[in-house]
Structure 1
Amino acid sequence: MTEHLTTARLRLDAVVPADLDEHYPLLADPGVWAHYPSGRHTDPQQTAVGIEHAVGHWARDGLGYWTARLRTDGTVVGTGGCARRAGTEWWNLYYRFTPAVWGQGLAAELVAAALDCAHAVAPERPVVAYLLEHNERSRGRAERSGLSPVWRGPDAGNPDPAAVRLVYADRPLDPDLLARVIAMP
């Protein structure tokens, strides 16, 4: 079952409402959102809504986002995985980790597990990662995970009009699908 996995150093558990008290501080941390400050959570209700979406992903598709805990002591250090956003037909690869663990390879462990699960659950669905061009760590993680750049352009919905979005995918995307991916805020 993909709801609970372990990697070398992480315990990955499907996000559930009881995770609110651990997710909110993570997603409210300005460091977590250094590359997209307007994404920072400023109210626990915002996090609760995101958790409800995550619960829905698991119920609908059998795959979604995990809470990432250190296996050594259970400390929450991140969240992420692959989920199909409502109205889409691709897996969205997502990952956020607390800056205290950046550079330790934990995102690599989560991303590898997420890609393996996405390919096992619905291999016909492409895996797509959206990121901002100036987020070099995220771009590097996507590339080292085997994803390839498929688009570069304005970041729809970003309050920074100069922001550039990159879209990476695990396979080429046909023009119609790419147009739908690009249109997502």
Structure 2
Amino acid sequence: MNPEELVRTERLVLTRPVPADLDDVFALYSDPGVWEHLPSGRHTDPATTRRLLDHVEAGWEAMGLGSWVVRDHDGGLVGTGGCDLRLGLAWNLGYRLARDRWGRGLAQEVVRAALAAAARVRPDVAVTAYLLEHNARSRAAAERAGLDLVWRGPDAGNPDPAAVRLLYADRPLSAIVVRELTAT
């Protein structure tokens, strides 16, 4: 096991996903309450969640880092989160927490662990956060993490044509990287 596969924080245990996590992660991703800012992203069948976990696993295999399943020290599901390599260009920092866990600073624990892991695994790769503008909590988390806004524009592929995405980064990004990260 590489050191990134199991990370403990003050209140959390972050683990590389395993097949036994499918039911818990599906329950989280199928909950409309956690998709307040992007209702179209909600999972409606376990096969969608399985594909997500397969994608995360591919990242772990290729890079030695990906998103974790996040649990409290008693084993209760808190959510998912971490850094996944996006398009081979940048780490994408993200998390999805159970609605009843919001507002407790748990996202910041995941974010700090993810930033530290990305710095250990590939410090040469920028860390970004790609989020919807109206998601004030995610914006605040990105800013608390020390990321700076580097782009604002339309959310390609969003069923809401008025949706606006923000791209935050821990360092300046080339125009080419910004274009690639925001085109999908």
Is there any run of 5+ residues in structure 2 with no aligned partner, and where?
none
| Identity across the alignment (%) | 55
Equivalent pairs counted in the alignment come to 182
Give TM-score, length-normalised by structure 2: 0.97
Partner Cα separation in structure 1 for residue 76 and residue 36 of structure 2: 22
Question: For residues 10-89 of structure 1, what are the structure 2 equivalents within 5 Å?
Answer: 10-71=12-73, 73-85=74-86, 87-89=87-89
- Deviation by residue 1:64-83 (Cα, 9 ceiling, x = unmatched): 00000001x11011101001
Aligned residue type for 2:44: T
Structure 1 CA distance, aligned partners of 2:18 and 2:131?
25
TM-score (norm 1): 0.96
Cα deviation for residue 28 of structure 1 reads 0.4
Describe how 1:1-185 pairs up with structure 2 within 5 A.
Answer: 1-71=3-73, 73-85=74-86, 87-184=87-184
Return the alpha-carbon distance in structure 1 between the equivalents of residues 114 and 136 of structure 2. Answer: 20
Shift of 1:88: 2.3
Partner secondary structure for residue 32 of structure 1:
helix
Q: CA RMSD in A?
A: 0.8
**Does structure 2 retain, via aligned residues, the 8 Å contact 1:81–1:114?**
yes
Give the aligned residue type for 1:98: A
How far did residue 18 of structure 1 move? 1.6
Moved segments of 4+, more than 4 Å: none
Following the alignment from structure 2 to structure 1, what is the Cα–Cα distance between the partners of residues 47 and 181?
27
3-state SS of 2:156 partner: coil
- Secondary structure (helix, strand or coil) at the match of 1:124 reads coil
